[in-house]
Chain A
């Protein structure tokens, strides 16, 4: 019995369930959002659905590896490559729409990323993957094409990550009291987290790195969930309302000078 693989199965299953549930809950709460934010919301729903769709076959793949079925492992790896190739499309739409507010431009730019994804897929399927190599912790495949990995890195991941970092930087430069930290910055950090560790998960040839990446993907998903549906502790600590309240003076906080005047 390989406990490392069992742990891997549980992590993959947790990512699948949490990201799909998150996408579902976001879609159900669509009515609460303004018309201006709805296109970005649907892009987010698509993004988290694709994360779930990537990790669902990966979960089955890990179960197959655990049970010693390399054929199912390979089939599931090929299936999981499809949602993975297009994961940057809704993300690019989300970032572009939030930054410039133009739906058409966002569509055109995300279409370019769809082409990138399709190019990656065609290279991936034509070159194939080497594996599976089942270890104590995971089942590893290596993409048999350097060009595919280049497209991966440059097209699908570097640009969207740079966009997220740019947006975060813009938010930090123009700091505003009205910005609720958990609602704006936390989702972006979470998306960046998930996005980058999915990449690491797919290109690494080391099982420890792969399982660590998956743990971070899970952490990112939970982080995003907390950003949109914060617990009371988060609300109290990070909300803008709280910041304003703490600035108000208390009757007991009167200075000695004020006491003398009242006196």
Chain B
């Protein structure tokens, strides 16, 4: 996966899910961005600095580190291969696939909303 990460879109999608009461997973911008970066770098190693390039505007270093440990490593979505270096696992790729479907759902819902808005 080498496609660019659209941070603004990811934020929009996360806000949409938050508005539905889903604050974790698809509704968490940090989770979304970390997973996107890991998926983008697959099968290479993702450095902590690669993730922070995208997440710095939303979260401090500590909270990203904590999320990596308490969510991604704990649930087996990534494997720590060296200090500050991670590789996404099959389970992580599954989660990334799910994240893509949440983006598709958001786009579909938004498009439908716009169509309804244009109906007199």
A residues apposed to B, CB below 8 Å: 26, 33-34, 36-38, 40-41, 44, 97-99, 101, 167, 170-171, 174, 176, 178-179, 183-184, 187
Q: Which of B80-88, B95-103, B108-116 contacts A (4 or more CB under 8 A)?
A: B108-116
| Interface hits, B65-87 → A, CB 8 Å | none
**Min CB–CB distance B108 → chain A (angstroms):** 5
Residues on B with C-beta less than 8 A from A170 are 112, 115
Q: Is there contact, CB below 8 Å, between A98 and B118?
A: yes
Query: Does more than half of chain B's interface fall in helix, strand or loop, or is it mixed?
Result: helix
Q: Given contacts A174-B108, A174-B109, are A179 and B118 in contact (CB under 8 A)?
A: no
Interface flag for B117 (CB, 8 Å): yes
Residues on B with C-beta less than 8 A from A98 are 115, 118-119
**Min CB–CB distance B119 → chain A (angstroms):** 6
Q: What is the bound-complex CA distance between A166 and B116, given in angstroms?
A: 14
Q: How many A-B residue pairs have CB under 8 A?
A: 42
Contacting residue for A183 out of B108, B112, B114, B119, CB 8 A: B119
Total B residues in contact with A, Cβ cutoff 8 Å? 12
Contacting residue for A44 out of B111, B112, B114, B120, CB 8 A: B120
B residues apposed to A, CB below 8 Å: 108-109, 111-120
Q: What is the bound-complex CA distance between A261 and B119, given in angstroms?
A: 48
Q: Is there contact, CB below 8 Å, between B112 and A41?
A: no
Q: Is there contact, CB below 8 Å, between B115 and A99?
A: yes
Name 18 A/B residue pairs within 8 A (Cβ), A-sorted.
A26-B120, A33-B120, A36-B117, A37-B118, A37-B120, A98-B115, A98-B118, A98-B119, A99-B115, A101-B114, A170-B115, A171-B112, A171-B115, A174-B108, A174-B109, A178-B113, A178-B116, A184-B116
With A36-B118, A38-B120 known, 13 other A-B pairs at CB within 8 A are A36-B117, A37-B117, A40-B119, A98-B118, A98-B119, A99-B115, A101-B118, A170-B112, A170-B115, A171-B115, A174-B111, A176-B109, A179-B116
**Min CB–CB distance A16 → chain B (angstroms):** 22
Q: Is there contact, CB below 8 Å, between B116 and A40?
A: no
**Min CB–CB distance B110 → chain A (angstroms):** 10
**Min CB–CB distance A65 → chain B (angstroms):** 37
Q: Is there contact, CB below 8 Å, between B117 and A174?
A: no
The chain B residue sitting closest to A176, CB to CB, is: B112
